[in-house]
């Protein structure tokens, strides 16, 4: 058994879904379970529609809903033969009728709660998984639709729900393998349900997480993440287009890269797979012949010190200083209690005797956080920053890595430095305006002689 997850760009249209069907057909002997994201930008459109409705603009929201309806009906009509089109369209119309009722309710209430956000945003994957199932059948692939809400059981933290692993794995184990004996199982990613059946979501990017949960739950031999790039690269191609494809990378390295900005893989994805030691493959649905990147449990030998350079834009640095820190204990606790109260995660941290510098990439509650911090310290904020993170297993036991990094960045003002406890990464903060030049300089320094066993142009 394998799990194949296809992202939004891989199922964005009828033509894209036909490509997906060809990829799945070539792997039928491996008994695939297929997890799909919403079609294209559907989730963004659903959330925009919900916000419009909650703002009281009912007719505008219903107009946005009509656009989504026409899109899904048109694309599904191109995939399903005329004889079966009526049944499929009737089922889709039922979904859109439910959505219309939700929109009207939001317009009356004038409030968008986390629970209602989950209810509306779940429809993207519910629609796409239904359409893909019927497209597979029309194209000669035996397929069955499985509502993810029946097998992915979560807590009640809406919009950022955490799976209840024992319950989820038990449901998956008893439900999916019997179906896979003679059919392809198609599920929507990103969505689940609480123990009492209320729709929940795993957060943005959660379709990767869903695939990893399914793989761990059914004991899959492999989890494939199909996207629109050839795999994990040595640098973000939108920042530096001259990078190499990684043939293989360890779970630990992939997790660091994902957390610090690599968008190919959702940071939580690797956790269930890592726990069960299931390899994860990152592949390109538009170029299925490319071998992609294999993410494995053990370290991947490499003569290069660094495997990849990740980066994250839109970062804010918060500098906190107080002479009361000197020879004192409990100061860090007070700082992190503030961030915990406002549910704002910290990415990087650097400390000295009397100051703490940290980075965040969710600044919605920054003003309230700073107001509390100023009750016991001085606070300065720097916006428009970026994190650069060089990642590799060899960093931990190779001398001189820092010297090479700082030599390459000669002339770039480095605002903050941090090395993770895992010693797999060295993190730097620079102004966002310097990001492109900094990544290019680092790549030229660290990948001047790439190991052909690990990297491919």
List pLDDT tens digits, range 3-27.
Answer: 999 999 999 999 999 999 999 999 9
Give residue 326's pLDDT: 61
Question: Can you give the residue range of the structural domain that contains 69?
Answer: 2-228
Q: Give percent above pLDDT 90 in the chain.
A: 79
Select from 212, 228, 244 the last residue of a domain: 228
What gap in Å lies between CA 206 and CA 35, rounded to an integer? 11
Give residue 75's pLDDT: 96
Place of tokens 């190499």: 244
In a domain, residue 293? The reply is no
- Look at residue 281 and tell me whether its pLDDT is greater than 80: yes
pTM of the entire predicted model:
0.87
In a domain, residue 451? The reply is yes
Averaged over 366-370, what is the pLDDT?
95
In a domain, residue 243? The reply is no
Select from 179, 196, 228 the last residue of a domain: 228
Same domain for 331 and 425?
A: yes
Q: How many domains does the chain have?
A: 2
Distances in whole angstroms, Cα of residue 417 to Cα of each of 125, 315, 356, 388:
40, 14, 12, 10
Task: Report the Cα 258 to chain-centroid distance in Å.
Answer: 8
Please answer whether residues 388 and 413 qualify as being in contact, where contact means their C-beta atoms are separated by less than 8 angstroms.
no
Please answer whether residues 163 and 213 qualify as being in contact, where contact means their C-beta atoms are separated by less than 8 angstroms.
yes
For 287, the 3-state DSSP assignment is coil
Give residue 442's pLDDT: 96
What gap in Å lies between CA 240 and CA 236, rounded to an integer? 6
Same domain for 209 and 314?
A: no
- The torsion of the CA quartet 22, 25, 26, 30, rounded to 10 degrees, works out to 150
Q: What is the pLDDT of residues 343-361, one digit of tens each?
A: 899 989 988 777 899 999 8
Give residue 325's pLDDT: 62
């Amino acid at each position: 058994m394998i799990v194949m997850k296809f992202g939004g760009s891989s199922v964005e249209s009828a033509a894209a879904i036909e490509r997906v069907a060809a990829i799945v057909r070539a792997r039928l002997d491996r008994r695939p379970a297929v997890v799909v994201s919403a079609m294209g930008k559907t989730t963004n459109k659903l959330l925009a529609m919900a916000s419009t409705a909650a703002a009281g603009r009912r007719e505008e929201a219903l107009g946005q809903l009509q656009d989504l309806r026409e899109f899904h009906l048109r694309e599904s009509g191109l995939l399903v033969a005329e004889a079966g089109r009526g049944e499929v369209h009737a089922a889709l119309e039922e979904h859109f009728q439910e959505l219309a009722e939700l929109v009207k309710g939001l317009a009356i209430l004038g409030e968008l709660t986390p629970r209602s956000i989950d209810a509306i945003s779940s429809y993207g994957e519910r629609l796409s998984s239904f359409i893909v199932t019927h497209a597979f059948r029309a194209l000669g692939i035996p397929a069955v639709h499985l509502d993810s809400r029946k097998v992915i059981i979560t807590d009640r933290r809406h919009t950022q729900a955490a799976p209840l692993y024992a319950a989820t794995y038990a449901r998956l184990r008893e439900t999916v393998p019997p179906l896979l004996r003679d059919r392809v199982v198609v599920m929507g990613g990103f969505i689940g349900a609480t123990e009492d059946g209320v729709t929940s979501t795993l957060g943005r990017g959660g379709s990767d997480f869903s695939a990893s949960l399914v793989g761990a739950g059914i004991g899959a031999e492999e989890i494939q993440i199909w996207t629109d790039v050839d795999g994990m690269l040595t640098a973000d191609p939108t920042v530096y287009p001259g990078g190499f494809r990684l043939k293989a990378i360890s779970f630990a390295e992939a997790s660091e890269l994902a957390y610090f900005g690599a968008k190919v893989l959702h940071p939580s994805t690797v956790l269930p797979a890592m726990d069960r030691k299931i390899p994860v493959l990152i592949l390109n649905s538009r170029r299925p012949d490319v071998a992609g990147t294999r993410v494995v449990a053990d370290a991947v030998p490499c003569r290069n010190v660094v495997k990849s350079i990740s980066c994250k834009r839109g970062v804010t640095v918060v500098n906190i200083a107080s002479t009361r820190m000197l020879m004192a204990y409990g100061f860090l606790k007070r700082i992190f209690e503030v961030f915990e109260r406002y549910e704002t995660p910290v990415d990087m941290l650097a400390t000295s005797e009397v100051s703490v510098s940290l980075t965040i990439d969710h600044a919605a509650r920054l003003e309230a956080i700073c107001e509390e911090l100023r009750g016991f310290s001085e606070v300065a904020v720097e916006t428009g920053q970026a994190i650069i993170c060089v990642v590799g297993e060899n960093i931990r036991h190779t001398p001189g890595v820092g010297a090479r990094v700082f030599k390459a960045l000669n002339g770039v003002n480095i605002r903050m430095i941090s090395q993770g406890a895992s010693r797999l990464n060295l993190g730097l903060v620079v102004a966002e305006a310097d990001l492109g030049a900094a990544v290019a300089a680092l790549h030229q320094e660290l990948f001047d002689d790439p190991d052909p066993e690990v990297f491919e142009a």
